[in-house]
Amino acid sequence: MPHANGKANGYDQTDSAAPERVKSDVCIVGAGPAGLMLGSLLARFGQKVDVIDERRDQTTVGRADGIQPKSIETLQMLRVGDELFRTGVKVHDICMWQSSGEAGLRRISRSIHYPAAVVDLLQPYILLCHQGMIEAVFIDDLRRSGVEVQRNRSFQTYEALDDGSLRIECGVGPEEEQQQQQQQQKQSPKTTKTTTIHAEYLVGCDGARSLVRKSIPDTYAQGTPHTSVWGVLDGELDTDFPDIWSKTVVFSERHGSVLIIPRERNMTRLYIEMKEASTSSAALGEAYVMEQARLILAPYRVGWRSVEWFGNYRVAQRVAARFSDERRRAFIAGDASHTHSPKAAQGMNTSIHDSWNLGWKLNLALRGFGKAGDGAAGGVVLLASYEGERKKIAHDLIDFDYEHANEIARGDAERLADNFSKNTRFISGVGVEYGENELNRGPGPSSSPRATTTTTTTQGAARPGCNLPPAKATRYLDACPVDVQLDVPVLGQFRIYAVLDDVAGASSATFLRDFNDSVAAETSLFTKLSRAAALSYQEKPRAKRADDVHVRPERYTSVSELGTFALITSTDKNDFEVSSLPPVFSRSGWTVYLDDVAPLDTQGRSCTEKWLGGLAADEAAIVIVRPDGYVGTIGRWDTAQTGAGSSAAQWLDEYFGGFLQVPPSS
């Protein structure tokens, strides 16, 4: 922005028509949930971000409104969104109603939305509040890191430069452009303002009609539109229909379907199907859609005390052919990369986690840690994994959405219930799973360098490529029961959990000592990476935030800026002291946990039992968790075997060596 001397970023700005030039690490186009989430993460991690949006203001009404359990967990990991829990509506159940032939409208089923027997969740409900409230959470979080969204600024084109960076040309937003055109008719010279942003990376989070996507070669949207047309109304209802405070699907054989979603401030959202015969009318206006809702819900009374937002849409299910350019410098995320119907409340949730997946990888790549692959097939291993992981999820979502939308349109309540039951884990978000790659190492030689002393495991609920399951433990230092998967703040680092039954036993003590010594050795890749990370964060530190006084980031980076070490043990607290542990654990006192509060768990199980299916007395396990909360890999060792701790350290190096490198500058 211009300084008092008429300059900004070193360029003369005295001529209002001259282009402004900005230097950035990442330029993010679009300030919806995907763009704001990505900006929030990168700003926290210490990267310079420019978040631009062509709109004058953030979303104020309508659009997306459902936050699924995994997204709730993500907000908790980020320590944001408390106001949403106070003001949003929590939906725990789902009801089905039907009318057909001579049978009048009647409830045919009522069930728990996320049954504990099917999916293990800390927050087993959908949180309902409009998209603008969620955007506000991320906008406030960006401000805590010193970043403001740049409004009235639109993406135009980008160009790759010889040094690998990008030159991004931006103009004004459509509203400001219209004002400038009106002004130019009255005076001259021309004063239209443009901006040139020089960035290392560009990410298009600019929606289904993404200009960034259209600017990346061969990144077109693939798919076909669905034939159904739906109207959407947000407002305060005046009705005697009994289930407006549940998620409710109403089928009318004659008039179509309605999906009822309770909302904040005593509002209700209605998705109303327009039967195909009526879609030829050009006047699918608010009054017409209201009348359709009355017909479907008859004989119940339906009126509106107020209407806050109305819209209609045709369902389109598409996935972009690519999620980045060949050089992996320009990316797309959110609706720019996939579109589908809104009726299962997946779009915003999927978009947020596109950004979660990409954000931590961009941070490490910007710091020089991304490992180069083998020619055309490899590229940058770390960044290539974004498309590999998230494109799979986009296709999984489209497949589910196609079935889900068809069952709603078909009006078969039993088939819809079956479809929902089959996909419950996926809908919640915790069932979104990645395939095996360098970041998600399953059983096999690459993660089992010494088969006699170590094996990978798929026992228990913790599995590579999957979300870390919720588990309770007692924090050693303050005796506080905590949710282990949420306890370590998001700093862009990995988490390395060592899990042992008895740390006071001779074989376990030897294992931990040998593991510590090998990890800390000069020849250890992890040590080299950690030294480089310390230098990187010294030169480009994480954002200094007001809430650091409470979060205390230094508690979790005392051993390494790359990863937080943690210990989970069933040993009685009176039988060991944190100070007696090897340095990688004694210096990580806030992440030493006692596995002694199973009754507090969602399933009444200990952390060790839930994650690993239990451990033998002389067995150790290490669970490596990625910065986005996904399990990277799991190893087990027989601590009674000579060299087990050193083997575990070698295994750790091999995992990180698959996708990270020591930056050449280090």
* 356 and 503 assigned to the same domain: no
* Residue 77 pLDDT > 90: yes
pLDDT band at 187 (very low <50, low <70, confident <90, very high): low
d(CA 149, CA 152): 10
- CB atoms under 10 Å from CB of 658, counted, come to 18
CATH code (residue 153) = 3.50.50.60
Contact between 213 and 29 (Cβ < 8 Å) = no
Q: What integer is the mean pLDDT of 442-457? A: 43
pLDDT band at 281 (very low <50, low <70, confident <90, very high): very low
The answer to whether residue 300 sits within a structural domain is: no
Nearest Cα to 457, choosing from 614, 593, 603, 602? 614
* Residue 211 pLDDT > 80: yes
Instruction: Determine the pLDDT at residue 183.
Output: 57
Domain final position from 354, 384, 409: 409
Q: What integer is the mean pLDDT of 7-31? A: 65
Contact between 315 and 208 (Cβ < 8 Å) = no
Q: Per mean pLDDT, which range of 225-239, 372-386, 551-565, 614-628 is the poorest?
A: 372-386
* 401 and 498 assigned to the same domain: no
* 499 and 353 assigned to the same domain: no
Instruction: Determine the pLDDT at residue 423.
Output: 93
Domain final position from 409, 426, 460: 409
* 374 and 500 assigned to the same domain: no
Identity (one letter) of the amino acid at 26?
Answer: V
Question: CA 438 → CA 184, 224, 330, 374, distances in Å?
Answer: 56, 33, 22, 13
Percent of the chain having pLDDT more than 90?
Answer: 75
The answer to whether residue 610 sits within a structural domain is: yes
Q: What integer is the mean pLDDT of 534-560? A: 96
* 397 and 454 assigned to the same domain: no
Instruction: Determine the pLDDT at residue 119.
Output: 96
Q: Per mean pLDDT, which range of 2-16, 80-94, 527-541, 576-590 is the poorest?
A: 2-16
* 562 and 613 assigned to the same domain: yes
Mean pLDDT of the chain: 89
How far does CA 332 lie from the centroid of its chain?
14
The answer to whether residue 296 sits within a structural domain is: no
* Residue 52 pLDDT > 90: yes
d(CA 395, CA 393): 5
Contact between 23 and 201 (Cβ < 8 Å) = no
* Residue 23 pLDDT > 70: yes
Q: How many domains does the chain have?
A: 2
The answer to whether residue 487 sits within a structural domain is: yes
* 477 and 398 assigned to the same domain: no
Give me 357's structure tokens: 């997946």
The answer to whether residue 353 sits within a structural domain is: yes
The answer to whether residue 360 sits within a structural domain is: yes
Instruction: Find the domain containing 534 and state its range.
Output: 445-657
d(CA 487, CA 157): 42
Q: What integer is the mean pLDDT of 259-274? A: 92
d(CA 432, CA 445): 26
Contact between 31 and 351 (Cβ < 8 Å) = no
* 366 and 467 assigned to the same domain: no
The answer to whether residue 339 sits within a structural domain is: yes
Query: What are phi and psi for residue 601, nearest 5 degrees?
Result: -75, 155
Please work out, in degrees rounded to the nearest 5, the angle formed at the alpha carbon of residue 418 by the alpha carbons of 416 and 421. 110
d(CA 361, CA 369): 9
pLDDT tens per residue, range 83-112: 999 999 999 999 999 998 788 999 999 999
pLDDT tens per residue, range 338-388: 988 777 778 899 999 999 999 999 999 999 999 986 543 334 899 999 999
Nearest Cα to 74, choosing from 141, 144, 170, 146? 141
Instruction: Determine the pLDDT at residue 152.
Output: 93
Domain final position from 356, 387, 409: 409
Highest-confidence segment of 397-406, 407-416, 436-445, 489-498: 489-498
* Residue 175 pLDDT > 70: no
* 162 and 27 assigned to the same domain: yes
* 346 and 467 assigned to the same domain: no
Residue with tokens 């359709």: 292
Highest-confidence segment of 101-110, 394-403, 467-476: 467-476
* Residue 523 pLDDT > 50: yes
Extended strands (E) in 401-554: 454-456, 472-475, 480-483, 494-500
Identity (one letter) of the amino acid at 470?
Answer: P
Instruction: Determine the pLDDT at residue 375.
Output: 42
Contact between 33 and 135 (Cβ < 8 Å) = yes
Residue with tokens 């205390």: 552
Instruction: Determine the pLDDT at residue 192.
Output: 58
* 602 and 464 assigned to the same domain: yes
Extended strands (E) in 580-638: 592-594, 619-625, 631-638
* 568 and 458 assigned to the same domain: yes
CATH code (residue 571) = 3.40.30.20
d(CA 364, CA 646): 27
Instruction: Determine the pLDDT at residue 511.
Output: 98
pLDDT band at 5 (very low <50, low <70, confident <90, very high): very low
Tell me the angle at which helices 413-422 and 381-410 cross, rounded to the nearest 10 degrees.
160
The answer to whether residue 484 sits within a structural domain is: yes
Q: What integer is the mean pLDDT of 393-422? A: 83
d(CA 349, CA 561): 29
